[in-house]
Amino acid sequence: LRKSRRQAAIGSQLVETLQLISNALRSGFAFTQAVEMAAKQLTPPIQDELHYFLRDNALGARTDDALRAMVERSGSVDMEMMVTTIIVQRTTGGNLSEILDNVAETIRERERLQGEIRALTAQQRLTGLILSLYPIVLGLLFFAISPSLMKVLWEEEAGRVLLVVAGTLQILGALSI
């Protein structure tokens, strides 16, 4: 849970990071200087990742290796896309600030589409949750009304088999919904 929250936080800060680095590159700064400027203006967790990158680079690691280490630490797909773009640009050449702007636009568009998908599927996800909880609530209600009838389910062999089958089908149904 903490890892996924951290990855989401990094993903939400990545567009701003790319814009800051791109603007610094346009102003004439070198790549590592641009990253350093961006790190000063951002907040954790992406600030921490940029500081680790700068530290690795200052200690003698190749820039490409320090960037790859940043991807491994963050676990972010968007970060991987950014680093791959930077590494390819460093190999082939081109305008890095323009390329980073394109990557930022791609990430921004992907986030917008994911938000639309979440909005369009919200009703179906709520329905799936209700349908998944309905049998459990109904079983508890029946147990409250008539515990002697419900005890048959865990006291008899056939009842236990039925509970296992029902539980398995309920899990499969919840996963398919």
Which residues, other chains included, contact 38 with Cβ-Cβ below 8 Å and sequence gap of 6+?
17, 20, 21, 24, 50
Q: Give the H or E element holding residue 117.
A: helix 96-120
Instruction: Please state the length of the chain.
Output: 177
Is the distance from CB of 92 to CB of 102 less than 8 angstroms? Answer: no
DSSP 119-170: HHTHHHHHHHHHHHHHHHHHHHHHHHH-HHHHHHHHHSHHHHHHHHHHHHHH
pLDDT tens-digit readout, 144-162 = 998 888 888 888 899 899 9
pLDDT tens-digit readout, 85-132 = 999 998 888 888 899 999 999 999 998 998 999 998 898 888 888 888
pLDDT tens-digit readout, 8-58 = 888 889 999 999 999 999 999 999 999 999 999 999 999 999 999 999 999
